[in-house]
Every structure is written in C-alpha cells, then in structure tokens.
Amino acid sequence: MASILELRAVKAFYGQSEVVHGIDVAVEEGGMTVLLGANGAGKTTTLRAICGLVKSEGEILFAGERLDRRTTEAIAGLGVAHVPEGRGTFVGLTVEENLRLGGYTRLSAARENIQRMYGYFPILAQRRRQQAGALSGGEQQMLAMARALMMSPRLLVLDEPSFGLAPRIVEDIFTIIERIRQEEKVSVLLVEQNASLALELADHAYLLETGYIVTSGSAKTLADDPQIRRSYLGY
C-alpha cells in the first residue's frame, strides 16, 4: 500500500541540540501508525518536525510534497492536522467558538462541519456554550480532535491523546479515533505511551529510543515481541 507520509533520515533539533537522529518512518494511506517510546525518546519532537515546528534535516514527504522547508501554516493547508500534547484548545472560548476557529472554510461549510463533529462527539454538542477551560480532560481531548478534523485533513497527527485520562475515557477516545479513521478516510499517526491499546488499533508501529528507531514492523509483530511486552506492555 502507498505511503501518505514518509520520513527519510529525519533529524530534529532544538537550537544546536539534535534530539532525533535520522529516522525513517512511513504512514500508509488510510492506515494508523503508532510511534511508541518512553518519556524523552523524541516522539513529540518527531511530530513537531513533521508539522514544521522545529528545525529538521532529511526529507519529509506528504502525498508527494516536501513538508520540510514549508511553514507550519502551509503544512496545515496541505491537510496535516496536529493535535499537540496538552491539547491546545482556547480555554477562554466556548466549545463552538473553538470549532469555528478550526474551520478554515466558508461559514456554511463550517456549520456543516460543526454538526459533523457533534455527530462524533455528542458530549461537545451538549457543552457547546461552555468555555473550553471548564471541560473535563476527556472532553478537552475530544474538542482538540474535533478542531483538528474541522479542516477535513488527510493526515491526523495525535500526540498522546490518552494522557492523564481515566482508562474508560481512554477507551472511548480510541473507539472514536478508529471510527473517524474509517469514516473520514483519514490516515493517522499516533504517539502513545499506552502501548497495549495503541497496538490493538494500529497497523504499523515504531519504537523510538533516545532519538533512534530501534524496532518497527506490523503492530501485531511488535505486540508479540518479548522485549516490547516486557518494557512497554508489562506482561
């Protein structure tokens, strides 16, 4: 199957400091790829490199276009939607105002998109007039994903959507991600510390350690790997 996103020998930097050391990663069109790894491994930085938020070297190819050398806005405009760590919603705005900001489209189209998002996330419809800052952690994650989906991206980049959420909420969130992937025909690149759930849903997986890919393969292969099981799955 064809890749929608391909990283070739990608390095990423904070100033002079290189924290991702030449990695190769591919996301199949319509698929879900997960990037696993301990705290500090470079997962967030890799996503930031894709989205043009940190300095990078190497090639980042998205649907035949080079993303490296483009601005963050241009990358978003090509159809890459990033839901960052910590979610990045506007806490002082209402749920619906947040969704309108994610729109990038005509008013009528924005209205339709908002209704589509309320279909995936009914709780957000109930909370539409509430300030985003007053939402629970799970609701904020849903709002952040809904905002990202407003522009009908081709690739959804999610940084630890389960972070800080109760297990039951995490399951809800992952169920919705899987439904959205199928119904929106969007490809997903997921960063997760919750390896067991992520490996159930993803087709491909990469394990990042201190800025290097140390293992990669089908999610099933990684889920069966004794070392991965011991270090990341806990059984």
Ligand X SMILES: Nc1ncnc2c1ncn2[C@@H]1O[C@H](COP(=O)(O)OP(=O)(O)O)[C@@H](O)[C@H]1O
The residue range among 11-19, 29-37, 40-48, 195-203 that interacts with Mg ion, by the rule CB under 5 A, is 40-48
Residue type for position 71: T
Give min distance, CB of 85 to Mg ion, in A: 5
138 near ligand X, judged by CB under 6 A: no
- With CB under 5 A as the rule, give the number of residues binding Mg ion: 2
| C-beta closer to ligand X: residue 79 or 161 | 161
CB of 210 to ligand X, least distance (A): 8
Among 23, 25, 32, 45, binds ligand X (CB under 6 A): 45
* Residue 212 CB partners (closer than 8 Å, separation 6+): 21, 22, 23
Of the two residues 44 and 216, which places its CB atom closer to Mg ion in the complex? 44
Which residues within the stretch 68-127 sit at the binding site for Mg ion (CB under 5 A)? none
Q: Choose the stretch contacting ligand X; rule: CB under 6 A; options: 39-47, 130-138, 146-154, 196-204.
A: 39-47
Q: Residue 75's closest CA among 177, 193, 154, 176?
A: 154
Neighbours of 124 (CB within 10 A): 24
Burial class (CB in 10 A: 0-12, 13-18, 19+), 116: middle
Stretch that binds Mg ion, among 37-45, 73-81, 103-111, 146-154 (CB under 5 A): 37-45
Question: What CA–CA distance (Å, rounded) separates 196 from 233?
Answer: 6
Helix (H, G, I), strand (E, B) or coil at 14: strand
* Residue 44 touches ligand X, criterion: CB under 6 A: yes
The residue whose two tokens read 């020998």 is 9
Residues that bind ligand X (CB under 6 A): 14, 19, 37, 39-45
